[in-house]
Structure 1
């Protein structure tokens, strides 16, 4: 029971800390600045200079999208650093956060049976 309580407290702490994750990226020439939360959600977009006024719409859109991607990568890396200690060995937290991890290769289809044979179960 103590082990369960420790795991639960750790998971709740991770959830709280994940909610606090934020990363900001600023595009070249300071056209746009974007802040993203720990789950990749955009929480702020600002234009620190008036440079965006002189840009073609497609160029501005490209700057915004690439800056969002950069901020998202930073936030996911920070969230992965929080998650890594909670994962089983062999599972890469950055791949988990990006949905690229092969969890099936690390976790068996059935839990290991310790001390009992399959027939006894």
Structure 2
């Protein structure tokens, strides 16, 4: 077998391995589900990947003794807690696939400054010292 054919087979195998890893990562991400419980078990909230609220329950009768604004705050804080758990789990799954120096938690929470990972100006021939001609 020629060297070129071997290289092509290796590249094809790498591609298939990477696709399988990405599919597994995608499956794992879809399965993320986190539950947070408010103090005094006032409310329990389950959130799935992407921050989607999947379930809200009231495991005790403590909510009956709360003012509406207090209950609302407890529900909203518990949702936020569950969403933060999802962000941390998502980040833990994705971190190994990200470029060095990219904070996965900041990426998933929307706090990542895009300028910290992408140049502010596009690369030009002068900035990378290349030629615009094919082949060099």
TM-score range with shorter-chain normalisation? 0.7 to 0.9
Q: CA RMSD in A?
A: 1.8
Determine the C-alpha separation between the residues in 1 that align with 2:28 and 2:46: 17
Residues 1:86 and 2:97 are matched in the alignment:
yes
Show the counterpart of 1:119: 132
What TM-score, normalized by structure 2, do the two folds share? Answer: 0.77
Question: 1:37 is matched with which residue: 32, 48, 55?
Answer: 48
Whether 1:105 and 2:130 are equivalent positions in the alignment is no
Contact 1:35–1:44 (Cα < 8 Å) also in 2: yes
Q: Which has the higher contact order (CA 8 A, sep 6+)?
A: 1
Bigger Rg, structure 1 or 2: 2
Q: Number of aligned pairs? A: 116
Residues in 2 aligned to 1:79 and 1:28: alpha-carbon distance in whole angstroms: 25
Tell me, in whole angstroms, the C-alpha distance in 2 between the residues paired with 1:10 and 1:120.
37
Per-residue displacement from partner, 1:62-113 (whole Å, max 9, x unpaired)? 0000000001101110011000011011111101101122344324545xxx
**Closer, same or farther: CA 13–104 of 1 in aligned 2, 3 Å:** farther
Q: Provide the C-alpha distance between the structure 2 equivalents of 1:61 and 1:102, rounded to a whole number of angstroms.
A: 32
2:10 counterpart of 1:26: no
In structure 1, runs of 5+ residues without a counterpart are 111-116
Select the structure that is richer in helix. 2
